[in-house]
Amino acid sequence: MTNEQSSPAPEIENLMAEGRAFPPPPAFVAQANAKADLYLEADDDYEAFWARLARERLTWRTPFKRTLEWDAPFAKWFTGGTLNVTENCVDRHVAAGLGDKVAYHWVGEPGDTRTITYADLLREVQQAANALLELGVRTGDRVAIYMPMIPELPIAMLACARIGAAHTVVFGGFSAEALAGRIEDAQAKLIITADGGWRRGKPVDLKTAADEAAAQSPTVEHILVVRRLGDALPASMTPGRDVWWHDIVTRQVADCPPVPVDSEHLLYILYTSGTTAKPKGIVHTSAGYLLGTSVTHEMVFDIKPDDVYWCAADIGWVTGHSYIVYGPLANATTGVLYEGAPDTPGWDRWWQIVEDYKVTVLYMAPTAIRAFMKQGEALPAARDLSSLRLLGSVGEPINPEAWLWYHLNIGRERCPIVDTWWQTETGQILISPLPGVTETKPGSATFPLPGISADVVDSNGDSVPLGQGGYLVLKRPWPAMLRGIYGDPDRYRATYWGRFPGMYFAGDGAKRDTDGYFWLLGRVDDVMNVAGHRISTIEVESALVDHPAVAEAAVVGKEDPVTGQAIFAFCTVRADVETSDELAHELREHVAKVIGPIARPRYLLFTPDLPKTRSGKIMRRLLRDVAEGRALGDTTTLADQGVVETIRAGAGRADEE
């Protein structure tokens, strides 16, 4: 993962040599929420464990009758129960006297800030929910949300949940086409968007993409638009279809009773890349999801009433859904919501926010940590980070060097680090230390949380002995697990439960060391992890071959010291096409248009042919060797041995952007 040529700083080398185990600081242990006996309780009877938590922590309209109905691989949790997610996230806190507590400190990019209390949230969610009703949205409908990181984003999500409509949030970095594909799959009636957002000091248009998507989407009746940019980028509004948030939401009454829904009522769909060109609509339902996210948020981040918690992800990804919106709000947490990038106006922006807001718990991705490492220690050292007491990591394996840098320079050796493994599909964190219990090892996500049964198996599905590697599987259902792929139960069964019958296969390789610690080894399928974003090789390939100049394309993730992987595209052009730098640029633009800027290949190499097996499968493994400048692995199954050498000879000329 890290660049092997650069050796770590001496103090990091010392720590690495020290044996690499970090017991929780005694002062932290004494006050920690989660104690070791939770593992015993959950092992004894995991259903009873979750049932106890569901009774204690959620506010029900109708108590549930059964904890779990498991008709593998289809789970129903807390059946017979009804509740409303927003009542749990907002109303009950206001009723308990926490109306003046801050829900979000919003920090916008050009220096804008806003403080939203739980009472504000209750008012605005009800107004927004009434606006949705006025726009014809009903319980059971789907709403697409395509927004920057502004307070109206969580408010829009909660407004949907209040009336029992499902949202599908589409990350603002996705293209109009990607948005349209998701709208079509979800059959969304309404798009909630903004004129745009701010990124690195510049306005970024969203409304035009929403318009393009709406033009392709017959189900869309209205577009609800938040004014974020105003004169900086005037949006065009289509009369009768488009409505401004400040026109329709602000004039609603702040009273919209929460609609009680069944525990298994659809809460949201979130699309994620898999091993095919079509993203999968991951289905999450109400009660189990809310329980799984809120319990893990409280246990793993040791959340206390006066914490200031900052998850520096985008709400467009599952990390934001679970650990910026639902988990933290269910726990009445005060959070930071940040619109901007880590480097604007300077690379100390995050440390300044920690100092200004006295952030106590910080959760971010290893790719960000590595980007900060490159900027040196002086920037965080110049800020007061003494409010921090716990640090988290998510999205990809954290290499020990980044872990130790985080520990030294951000945690100042006081703060436990929780490396949390989970997925869009799992909904909640599944493998992570408990910060007052677990001795950590840099680079290991340590152990499955209480109630979670994970294992590492070989290709026959048999558990491998400690010290060996294999495939990571989960052996029991958990409350926030995906309930399926929207509209496609067969694909759900085949994708996640088909490889090892009776077990959920996550798509990750893992090993356990002789102490039983889990070490995640990255994806074993054709999914890349670029700066913590999941991108499918096949999706990028199909975007490339969609361009008229391209005959064939193969895409691999090339190891990268900052982003984990970088997208490397090998393209074969049609016979009548001349390759050029301009064409390389045009192909990148094309991918950005089809999928979104996050999928733009960093490296692009025109090749006369691609290495294939005799059955015609592209051998991505060999291309990865080429991309990373390694000796080639086994080439015996290649149909044409010469191809890969030709490609290798040209690899140094790959166009880098």
List of residues contacting ligand 7RM (CB under 6 A): 272, 317-319, 394-397, 419-424, 445, 506-508, 520, 522-523, 529, 534
Say if residues 172 and 194 touch (Cβ distance below 8 Å): no
Q: How many CA atoms does the CB half-sphere of 113 hold within 13 Å?
A: 9
**Least Cβ distance, residue 534 to ligand 7RM (angstroms):** 4
Whole-angstrom distance, CA of residue 557 vs CA of residue 601:
10
Whole-angstrom distance, CA of residue 651 vs CA of residue 640:
18
**Least Cβ distance, residue 272 to ligand 7RM (angstroms):** 5
Nearer to ligand 7RM, 151 or 292 (CB): 292
**Percent of residues in the chain assigned helix, strand, coil, to nearest 5:** 35, 25, 40
Going by C-alpha positions, the residue among 161, 155, 160 that lies closest to residue 124 is 155
Whole-angstrom distance, CA of residue 448 vs CA of residue 454:
6
Nearer to ligand 7RM, 422 or 603 (CB): 422
489 preceded by cis ω (within 30°)? no
**Least Cβ distance, residue 236 to ligand 7RM (angstroms):** 34
Nearer to ligand 7RM, 93 or 523 (CB): 523
Whole-angstrom distance, CA of residue 464 vs CA of residue 329:
40
Nearer to ligand 7RM, 269 or 584 (CB): 269
Nearer to ligand 7RM, 88 or 399 (CB): 399
How open is the CA angle 342-345-346, to the nearest 5 degrees? 65
**Least Cβ distance, residue 510 to ligand 7RM (angstroms):** 9
Token reading at 26? 């005694």
Token reading at 531? 């700066």
**Least Cβ distance, residue 383 to ligand 7RM (angstroms):** 26
SS (H, E, C) 132-184: HHHCCCCCCCEEEEECCCCCHHHHHHHHHHHCCCEEEECCCCCCHHHHHHHHH
Pairing of strands 334-338, 102-107: parallel
Nearer to ligand 7RM, 216 or 276 (CB): 276
Nearer to ligand 7RM, 268 or 606 (CB): 268
Residue 444 CA to its chain's centroid (Å): 19
Nearer to ligand 7RM, 271 or 606 (CB): 271
| Residue/partner pairs of 330-333 with CB below 8 Å, 24 or more apart | 330/57, 330/58, 330/88, 330/89, 330/290, 330/293, 330/294, 330/297, 331/294, 331/297, 331/298, 331/303, 332/93, 332/96, 332/98, 332/101, 332/118, 332/305, 333/103, 333/297, 333/303, 333/307, 333/309
Pairing of strands 190-194, 142-146: parallel
Name the helix (H) or strand (E) containing 242: strand 242-244
**Least Cβ distance, residue 51 to ligand 7RM (angstroms):** 26
Nearer to ligand 7RM, 222 or 534 (CB): 534
Nearer to ligand 7RM, 104 or 422 (CB): 422
SS (H, E, C) 516-544: CCEEEEEECCCEEEECCEEEEHHHHHHHH
Nearer to ligand 7RM, 87 or 508 (CB): 508
Nearer to ligand 7RM, 165 or 365 (CB): 365
**Least Cβ distance, residue 322 to ligand 7RM (angstroms):** 8
**Least Cβ distance, residue 148 to ligand 7RM (angstroms):** 19
Sheet holding 102-107, edge to edge: 113-117, 102-107, 334-338, 308-311, 361-364, 390-394, 417-420
Nearer to ligand 7RM, 146 or 317 (CB): 317
**Least Cβ distance, residue 247 to ligand 7RM (angstroms):** 36
**Least Cβ distance, residue 292 to ligand 7RM (angstroms):** 13
**Assign residue 230 a region: left if phi > 0, alpha if psi is -120 to 50, beta otherwise?**
left
The backbone torsions φ and ψ at residue 2, rounded to the nearest 5 degrees and listed phi first, read: -90, 160
**Least Cβ distance, residue 338 to ligand 7RM (angstroms):** 18
Whole-angstrom distance, CA of residue 182 vs CA of residue 54:
32
Nearer to ligand 7RM, 68 or 364 (CB): 364
Task: Tell me how far CA of residue 640 lies from CA of 266, 554, 572, in angstroms.
Answer: 50, 16, 16
Pairing of strands 222-226, 242-244: parallel
**Least Cβ distance, residue 465 to ligand 7RM (angstroms):** 22
**Least Cβ distance, residue 395 to ligand 7RM (angstroms):** 4
Nearer to ligand 7RM, 78 or 492 (CB): 492
Whole-angstrom distance, CA of residue 177 vs CA of residue 593:
7
Amino acid in position 234: P
**Least Cβ distance, residue 437 to ligand 7RM (angstroms):** 18
Nearer to ligand 7RM, 132 or 503 (CB): 503
Token reading at 57? 């922590």
Q: What's the length of the chain? A: 657
SS (H, E, C) 335-400: EEEECCCCCCCCCCHHHHHHHHHCCCEEEECHHHHHHHHHHCCHHHHCCCCCCCCEEEEECCCCCH
**Least Cβ distance, residue 397 to ligand 7RM (angstroms):** 4
77, β-bridge pairs: 68
